[in-house]
Structure 1
């Protein structure tokens, strides 16, 4: 056969005697081992899943979307992108419970689609993580400028770059606890936002102005027609990027079968509260023509902050700005975590230098953390000579394209995984956790990822408010160019068929097997739930 360039797919695993004789429960982590420590709990993964993607995209980017698309455009945009990430997380759930691997979706793509897809996805997504770090750092500058513009931009970037470094160089449990606290604050505050903005809209603010749906009526819902609606989609996708990180965190949890389904089950709460209701609140409280919106000629503040300030409630405006600041730093920290694990997964596949697969005794993958932080932080200094809105638009467009590629590959991997499972004669009942949405959600997510990649091509050729140019096209669509180059380069190296032969995939390689004790734990949880339910019914 010659040298195997991609062992995860081509070679069968060497099974232990216990597995050969059918006692698979004696080997908990067979095939899924790495130097990461499984020190994160269900609480960590659930809260990270709830709050990991709540950052600059929602709190600040919604301002540019409101201006470019209008109230109806941003609301529909979040509905559509929300349905996509809901579909994607259900695909993640099934595979993350079965295969909780570092750089999870990269390894799933290699296992079920092809090595070239895994190579392109892994490196492209690592690029998107350090772009996100840079974007969140420049977001910190925008947030802090609401209070003062006397501190040089480079100083703010440096200070909070160091903060993100400190969060990630600590133990994994320290990172987990920090993210839990940040997620709790963000999750709790959204209730305040929704209730207070309903009161503002009804005329209960100090200004006494009943707004209702005035701005919807003034604009007809759209400020720039259908093209304006299409232009808000990159920001909506960027705002929700990072929701897939629960698949990465699964590799460092003690019991993914318990943790991952809870994280997936909570996705509807985040989508409905944070994005859908949150975006609706700003469409009824803030005019799309307000000059102070992010990207405008005024203060360049978050639409949530503007809503409170215009309503005559400066205290809530300042608290809101502080929450946004916390969210931006938190999202930057998670991006470093995910980027380092992506490099580790690539190294395990032989697609990156072997040293990237190394971690210290506490589970910190230093060879992945350091380059991710250095490149991401260095790129943030682009904001020194450019406006925050310009940098945000550029970075969010690039990241949204990488995100669409990732989401599409996750859905495709899930479809191929189920097909392989069926082709090899295995029962669906053998899966540790089954998503009730299959196959409809997986196909829905994949189809919309493809459609929106085409839409982004259209907007890159004929951008909103600009004339067509090669510079604009490559600035907005260079992510896809990078993906194509990476994929074709990998195709030349790996050669072979375009698709992995699903009949030959070793479905036990990289799989997590669960112990009888964990089965008992699950049964005990179910009994407790039934007992509690019986008390109140």
Structure 2
């Protein structure tokens, strides 16, 4: 499949860019901020179990995406695959859902950035800082693809280093090698079992899955970037294979440290667990430094998210599903109209001026988490149907440069686990609202697509009848 446009997108990304962009999309508020919410809801052990389940789900989805992205490296891959192998209505809906995932996520990222800035400027409003960062991230995305890739490589490197240091220092504190405020000896496992393994019940593990899925959303960015990657057949597998190891190292490692050092009742989203623990350890200026790192992480994630949302609109236009205006790119290879519309999602963060910022944050995380899980289901279903179609057309399995292992077990398992994540949201009143926004959005997407198809066919039929009358 080849992309065509008046001024094509540029293939400027290498394997190191893909690796760090996939990390940049993942390491944001989901780890640095909403991890506190998960600990508070599921308890220490429940949190680790929830993130382990989430890591497995994401890895299964990535194995499915790898086969598709290498076989068909196109920008906006998810909806293109869904269009071809599931149906055009589903492809149209998947594209808009993924756009919703990131535009809503932008709102949560900018809200989180405002909450971080409030630590330094307590008398300012969260929404004012959100507005400032909206403008900043828009400007970063308005430069060339190469500039975006290099900036994400730098930002993600800072995040990775910070998390590794957090795990090292936190681990030393857990084992009592570094003294920590409030503990006379090693606090290892004390907070894990203090109020029972599942203080809010085992069901709390599953009702936090949307927040966990939101934390892991961004790994699929590899698929979005495939159309702007120099050597997708070589670079995409390099980025996908270590996915599970990265998620376990960064997320499970961090969660274990947090759960061991922070009583689950004290965790939340008003302050990052990372800052809380560094304060406890007593490292000079560690709180300020960590807040700065978290701010970089949040803005990096927003930067990746805006890129993804913009490319999804470009792809919709490129496939003639929306106005051609969104498919036009400037001399720098940037689809500016798509960028402007996608940036509007960040405006959702400004409602923190009338609704408490913490409430806004949890609401946006839930909507974004549910939307991305539905997209993951579409990826799994697309791979299942692609493989069957590929073999049916007479191709041989050995010709695939990247093969999803254990077919069809992997795509089926990925689909079922994602579906269960959607079901569990009904149990949590705080996240149930996501259904009231996302389900009507999905229905509206299908309705708009088939209404447009009906109008197109009616127009085509009228044109044919006119030709016959003329003859």
Return the TM-score normalized by structure 1: 0.80
Deviation at 1:173, TM superposition (A): 0.6
Separation in structure 2 between the aligned mates of residue 94 and residue 170 of structure 1, nearest angstrom: 31
Partner of 2:322: 352
The answer to whether the 8 Å contact 1:112/1:416 transfers is yes
Give runs of aligned pairs for residues 461-500 of structure 1, distance below 5 A. Answer: 463=429, 473-474=432-433, 476-491=435-450, 494=453
- Specify which of 326, 332, 336 is matched with residue 296 of structure 2: 326
Match of 2:414 in 1: 445
Deviation at 1:386, TM superposition (A): 2.2
Native 8 Å contact 1:50 1:267 kept in 2:
no
SS at match of 1:221: coil
Among 247, 268, 284, the alignment partner of 1:294 is 268
Aligned to 2:307: 337
Secondary structure in structure 2 of the residue aligned to 1:289: helix
Q: Does 1:97 align with 2:70?
A: yes
8 Å contact kept, 1:106–1:121: yes
How far 1:349 sits from its partner (Å)?
Answer: 2.0
Query: Residues 146 and 210 (structure 1 numbering): CA distance in 2 closer, same or farther, change over 3 Å?
Result: farther
Aligned partner of 1:145 in structure 2 is 118
Distance in 1 separating the partners of 2:419 and 2:27: 24
CA RMSD across the alignment: 1.8
Tell me the SS of whatever aligns to 1:70.
Answer: helix
Partner of 2:102: 129
TM alignment of 1:345-384, pairs within 5 A: 345-373=315-343, 375-384=344-353
Instruction: Tell me, yes or no, if structure 1 residue 311 matches structure 2 residue 270.
Output: no
Q: Which runs of 4+ in 1 moved over 4 A?
A: 472-476, 491-495
- Alpha-carbon displacement from aligned partner over 1:414-463 (angstroms, at most 9, x marks no partner): 0000010111121011113223353322221111111111212343xxx2
Cα distance, 1:494 vs structure 2: 4.5
2:131 pairs, out of 146, 158, 166, with 158
Partner of 1:510: none
Partners of 1:384 and 1:270 in 2: CA distance: 37
Asked whether the equivalents of residues 46 and 266 of structure 1 are also in contact (C-alpha less than 8 Å), the reply is no
Q: 1:384-395 maps to which residues of 2 (within 5 A)?
A: 384-395=353-364
Question: Cα distance, 1:314 vs. partner?
Answer: 4.5
CA contact (8 A) 1:394 1:476 kept: no
CA distance in 2 between partners of 1:492 and 1:177 (Å)? 42
2:397 alignment partner in structure 1: 428
SS at match of 2:111: helix
1:411 correspondence with 2:387: no
Name the count of aligned residue pairs: 449
Greater CA drift, 327-336 or 375-384: 375-384
Q: CA 1:452/1:348 → structure 2, altered by over 3 Å: closer, same or farther?
A: same
Partner of residue 90, structure 2: 117
Equivalent in the alignment of 2:261: 285
Matches of 2:21 and 2:2, distance apart in 1:
26
State yes or no: 1:215 paired with 2:191: yes
SS in structure 2 of the partner of residue 87 of structure 1 = helix
Structure 1 unaligned segments of length 5 or more: list them: 1-29, 465-471, 496-537
Give, in angstroms, the shift of residue 474 of structure 1: 4.3
Higher helix fraction: Structure 1 or Structure 2? 2
